[in-house]
Amino acid sequence: MSGAQRSMDAIRAWCDERGLNLEAIKTALKRQHIETPSWGYGDSGTRFRVFSWPGAARTVEEKLADAAMVHRLTGVAPSVALHIPWDRVDDWDALKQYADELGIRIGAINPNVFQDEAYKFGSICHPDAAVRRMAVEHMLECIEIMQKTGSRDLSLWFADGTNYAGQDSFRARKQRMLESLAEVHAALPEGKRMLIEYKFFEPAFYHTDLADWGLAYLAATRVGEKAHVLVDTGHHAQGTNIEHIVAVLLDEGRLGGFHFNNRKYADDDLIVGSVNPFELFLIFHELVSAEQDNDEPARSCAQQVAYMIDQSHNIEPKIEAMVQSVINCQTALAKALLVDRRTLTQKQAECDVLGAHRELTAAFELDVRPLLAEVREDMGLHPEPIQALKESGYEEKIARERGTSGGGSGGYPGA
C-alpha cells in the first residue's frame, strides 16, 4: 500500500470515528473559490527595484491567460481581480468575452487612488475638495466598469494618512472620508458591494486613516448595508489575532472578503500560508464554523465572503507562486473541514482547555494531500498542480513569447 493510500485511509478513519461526512467535505473543497489578482502575474518588486521575470504578463489579456492557466491546474480559481487604471481597456465587452472564452470571469474591481501626484497628501481624506472629487469620480468610474464586467465587488484600499503630528485634523479627515464613501456607496447598484480594506501603517507613518478593522467596520456601518470589511492578512501589527477579528466580523455580518498573503515583519506580501500556516488554518476554521452554524447573520455572511489573493511575487516564478498560493488555501480549508466541531464544542463547554486545543490541532496536523489529490482527480484534474504546471511547458512557452522586461526603479503595483 502506498503512502498516499495509507494517508487517505487515515482520513476516512478520522471521518468515520467522528461522524464526519467525507463526501460532503469533498464537495465543499470542489466548491472553493479563490480569486487571483491580475497584478500578481506582472513584474513587481520592492520600493528599491522592480525585478523582471521571463514571461511575466505585460497586458491585461496576458494576465487573464495566466489566471486561466492557474484555474485549469487547480480547478478552484475561476475569477481574476482587476486594478484600474493598470488594467483599463477601451472595450470592456471584448475583455469580458475573452475571459469567458478562457473559462474564467472578471472579479473584484480595485480603484487606484494612491499613485497619482494629486494624492500626495491623501485621496478621500485630502484637505482639498478637488482632490477628493477626483478620487470619488475614479471610484464611480470603477462602478461603471463593474456593471460592464459583471463584477460584484468594489475593493477599496486607501493610502491616506499623515507623517507628522499636527499635519492635519484627525476628525476632519474622518468626516471627509465618510462623506466620500457615502457618495460612492449610494452609487452602487443592487447586488454590488463595497469592501473597505485597512492597513496598520505604510505609506503613512504617523497615522493611517483606516488603520485597523475597527475603523473599517465603523466606516462600513456608517455608509450603508452594501459596505463590508476586507481583511488583508498582512495589514496588522505583530501578534494581532486575525482569526479573532474574522470571528467578530462574521458575527456582525460585516466580513466582506480577504486579501490573502503572509508576512514575517510588515506587509511582506509573501505566499499565503508560507510563514504561518497555523494562522491560515485558524482563519478558515472560523469561516467554516460560521458557515456550518445556524446563527444569523454569521452564516449568511460566511457564504458571501470573497476569497482573494494579494501578493507580490518578486523573486518567485509568477505562475508557480500563484498555484502554490491556491494550494495552501485548499490545504487550510481541507483541515478546517475535518475539525470535529461537535467534540470541540463539548470540550469548550466543559472548560477542557487542553482537550479543546488538542481537538483543533489534531485536525491541523492531518496530512490532507491525498484528500486534495483525490478531489482534483474527481474534477478531472492532475492530482498534483505543480507537477502538472512543470509538465505543461507553459512557463517556458510564455517566456519565449513574451521575453523579459528591463525591470526598473522601485515600486510594487499592488495594495
Residue 3: pLDDT over 70: no
Query: Which residue's C-alpha cell is 452602487?
Result: 188
Predicted confidence at residue 410, as pLDDT, reads: 52
Percent of the chain beyond pLDDT 90? Answer: 93
pLDDT bucket at 415, cuts 50 / 70 / 90: very low
Q: How many domains does the chain have?
A: 1
Predicted confidence at residue 295, as pLDDT, reads: 86
Does residue 186 lie within any of the structural domains?
A: no
Does residue 219 lie within any of the structural domains?
A: no
Residue 406: pLDDT over 80: no
Predicted confidence at residue 49, as pLDDT, reads: 86
Chain centroid, CA 413 distance in Å: 16
Does residue 273 lie within any of the structural domains?
A: yes
Residue 411: pLDDT over 90: no
Does residue 151 lie within any of the structural domains?
A: no
- Kindly report, residue by residue over 57-76, the tens digit of the pLDDT: 999 999 999 999 999 999 99
Give me the mean pLDDT over the 288-296 stretch: 93
Does residue 79 lie within any of the structural domains?
A: yes
- Kindly report, residue by residue over 381-400, the tens digit of the pLDDT: 999 999 999 999 999 999 99
DSSP state of 164: S
pLDDT bucket at 278, cuts 50 / 70 / 90: very high
Read off the amino acid at residue 13: A
pLDDT bucket at 141, cuts 50 / 70 / 90: very high
Give me the mean pLDDT over the 82-92 stretch: 98
Residue 408: pLDDT over 60: no
Lowest-pLDDT choice from 270-284, 285-299, 401-415: 401-415
pLDDT bucket at 6, cuts 50 / 70 / 90: confident
Count of beta carbons in the 10 Å neighbourhood of residue 236: 20
Task: List all residues 6 or more positions away from 411 whose beta carbon is below 8 Å from its beta carbon.
Answer: 45, 47, 50
pLDDT bucket at 47, cuts 50 / 70 / 90: confident
Task: List all residues 6 or more positions away from 190 whose beta carbon is below 8 Å from its beta carbon.
Answer: none
Predicted confidence at residue 292, as pLDDT, reads: 95
Give me the mean pLDDT over the 108-131 stretch: 98
Domain of residue 53, CATH code:
3.20.20.150
pLDDT bucket at 378, cuts 50 / 70 / 90: very high
Read off the amino acid at residue 325: S
Judge contact between 109 and 145, C-beta under 8 A.
yes
Predicted confidence at residue 142, as pLDDT, reads: 98
Predicted confidence at residue 46, as pLDDT, reads: 81
pTM: 0.96
Domain of 13, in residue numbers: 3-111+233-409
Judge contact between 50 and 410, C-beta under 8 A.
yes
Does residue 396 lie within any of the structural domains?
A: yes
Does residue 213 lie within any of the structural domains?
A: no
**Beta strand extents in 93-246 (DSSP E only):** 105-111, 153-156, 161-162, 193-197, 207-208, 227-232
pLDDT bucket at 414, cuts 50 / 70 / 90: very low
Vertex 374, ends 370 and 379: CA angle to 5°? 150
Could you give the CA distance from residue 25 to residue 29 in angstroms, rounded to a whole number? Answer: 6
Residue 206: pLDDT over 80: yes
- Kindly report, residue by residue over 321-357, the tens digit of the pLDDT: 999 999 999 999 999 999 999 999 999 999 999 999 9
Predicted confidence at residue 280, as pLDDT, reads: 98
Does residue 31 lie within any of the structural domains?
A: yes
